[in-house]
A = this chain, B = another copy of it.
């Protein structure tokens, strides 16, 4: 079958030890479902003679161009270096939704944002204030919308007709398991129609 739509593959894979292979694998899986994958921006860029800051700007510009060229996005929203998804991926989800392009997100934990905040970040230490709002020891509100991360993600993704898939993956495979990614490809295939 020949590819029908372009997918922008968002996620923190570039930072992984096996990042290049992982991104290649994600591209192959996309092609197998009939989607053109966005290729790594860095491949077409040359850092020679530019500052690290300028090179970062080149990568950013290439990513933004790829997003504008793509028909939809699949975003790895698995918690990354903390309680939330990779913030670069977060930026990209907002970017694609503003352009009216569907986003299919996934996270390799079934733990909701509220549970991660309360159990992992605040270690269970939280109290309700005078107005009944649950707060951590630092005074910050612990929000509970039954959502995967900050409410902009479940909210924006569902409003645009996308989906946010949760799977429970052993912690050592959380950043690499591609089962939920493949499920997103299938959901996108249904969204755009069978070939």
Contacts and interface: CB of A to CB of B under 8 A. Distances in A.
A80 to B, nearest CB: 8
Contacts of A117: 81
A93 interface: yes
Contacts of A86: 150
A16 B139 contact: yes
Contacts of A147: 53, 56
A156 B93 contact: no
Q: How would you classify the secondary structure of chain A's contact residues: helix, strand, loop or mixed?
A: helix
Interface string A77-111: 00001111111101111111111000000000000
Interface of A: 12, 14-17, 19, 51-53, 55-57, 59-61, 63-64, 67, 81-88, 90-99, 117, 121, 129, 135, 139-141, 143-147, 149-156, 158-159
28 contacts: A15-B141, A15-B143, A17-B135, A52-B144, A52-B146, A53-B147, A53-B154, A57-B154, A57-B158, A59-B151, A60-B151, A60-B152, A60-B154, A61-B155, A64-B98, A64-B159, A81-B82, A81-B83, A81-B121, A81-B140, A84-B84, A87-B90, A87-B149, A91-B91, A91-B94, A94-B95, A95-B95, A95-B98
